[in-house]
Homo-oligomer: A and B are copies of this chain.
Amino acid sequence: MGRKIRVIQYGAGPIGLKAVEYIAGRSHLQIVGAVDTDPAKIGRDLGELAGLPAPLGVTVSGDASDVLRRTGADAVVLTTTSTLEKIKPQILEIVSFGKNVVSSCEELTYPWITQPAIAWEIHEAAVANSVSVLATGVNPGFLMDFLPLVMTGICKDVTHIRVERIQDARHRRLPFQKKIGAGLTMEAFQTKAKEGILRHVGLTESIHLIASGLGWTLDRTEDILSPVKAASRITTEHLIIEPGQASGVSQIGRGYRNGEEVITLNFRASVGEPNPLERIVIEGSPRIDLTITDGVNGDVATCAIMTNAIPVVVEAEPGLRTMADVRPIACRG
C-alpha cells in the first residue's frame, strides 16, 4: 500500500467517535481533520474525545467549510444524521471540495426510490467532482440487504427473501436504547411512534436495495412498527424498565411485487431479548437458510464497515454508490 488515505471525521457523536478509534488503529488510514457542531466538543482533541490513549493532534472544529477548504483529505466519514434531507447540504459541500464520502446515514443507503430527486442531486454533484458517496453500516447496509442480496448470487431463481434481525439491546449505548423506546409506557411509545422518533430508519431502503439488485420492480412497500412489552422488570446499566412498559421495538418491512409479498424484513430490538440472532431465508433454488448465532453487535459492526469502506469508496466509480455496486468490502487490518 502506498501513502496513507487521509480522512476527515465529520460528526463526533458516539458512532463517529467509535469510528475514530477504529480508523486510528489502521496503518493505511490517517485522521487529518474533525468537525462537530457541539460547543462542548469544539476545540478539543479528537483522540481525547474518542478515549484514545494519546491525543491525535486533530482539533474538533465547528466550521466545516473551513476544515474542508484547508485540509488535504481523500475522504470524509460523515456521521451526523439519519435523515437524507438534513445530510444533503453537508454532502454537497464535501463533494464540492473533491472529497469522497462514507456515511452512516440510513436514508442514504438506497435513496433512489424513496427520495429520487435528492439522490440524483447528490449523484450528479459527486460525478461532477469525480468523487463517490456511499452510505453503509450494519443495518441498513449489510445484514438486512447486502448479505441476503449476495447470497442470491448462488441461486438459480428466487421467489421470496425473509430476513430477521433480533437484537438484545441490553448492552447497547443509551441513545440506542432510547431510540427503540425502552422504558416508555405504552402510551408514550405510541405517541413517540406517531412522531416518527422511535423507528429503526432504513428498513424501506434495505427492501429497495435488495429489489434493485435482483432487478425486481416493487408495487409498494410497508414498514409497520409496534412495541415489545416487558413481561417483568428489566434493569440495565442505563435504565430500569417496569413490567408493561416497552422494552423495545418490533418493525416489519414488506416489499410487494405483482401483488405478492416477496421481501419480508423483521427487525426487533429490545432490552432483554432472549434469543438474539440474524437469519436469512431465501426461497429459491437452492433454498438458503442462514443464521448468525447470537447476532452481531451493531455499533461495532457499523463503525467497522465504515472504516473498511474507506479505501473502497476512494477507488470507486464517481457518483452516489450503493453496497450493491462497489467492490466487496473486507477488513483490511
| Residues in A lying within 8 Å of B, measured CB to CB | 1, 22, 25, 138, 142-143, 146-147, 149-150, 152-158, 213-216, 284-286, 288-294, 296-297, 300-305, 307-309, 323-333
B327 touching A326, Cβ below 8 Å: yes
The complex places the Cα of A289 from the Cα of B277 at a distance, in Å, of 10
Closest Cβ of chain B to A141, distance in Å, is 9
- Could you list 14 further interchain pairs (A-B, Cβ under 8 angstroms) beyond the known A157-B333, A284-B331, A324-B327? A1-B215, A138-B154, A142-B154, A153-B329, A155-B301, A155-B304, A155-B308, A158-B331, A213-B330, A214-B332, A215-B332, A215-B333, A290-B290, A290-B293
Distance (whole angstroms) from the CB of A17 to the closest CB of chain B: 14
A305-B142 in contact (CB<8A): no
* Residues in B whose Cβ lies below 8 Å from that of A330: 149-150, 152-153, 213-214, 324
Chain B residues closer than 8 Å to A326, beta-carbon distance: 327
Chain B's nearest CB lies how many Å from the CB of A310?
Answer: 12
Report the Cα distance A245→B271, complex, angstroms: 54
Q: Is the CB of A289 within 8 A of B285?
A: no
- Tell me how far the C-beta of A149 lies from the nearest C-beta in chain B, rounded to whole angstroms: 5
- Chain B residues contacting A284 (CB-CB under 8 Å) are 331
Contact (A297, B286) CB under 8 Å given A154-B304, A326-B327, A330-B153: yes
Q: Which residues of chain B come closer than 8 Å to A138, judged between CB atoms?
A: 154
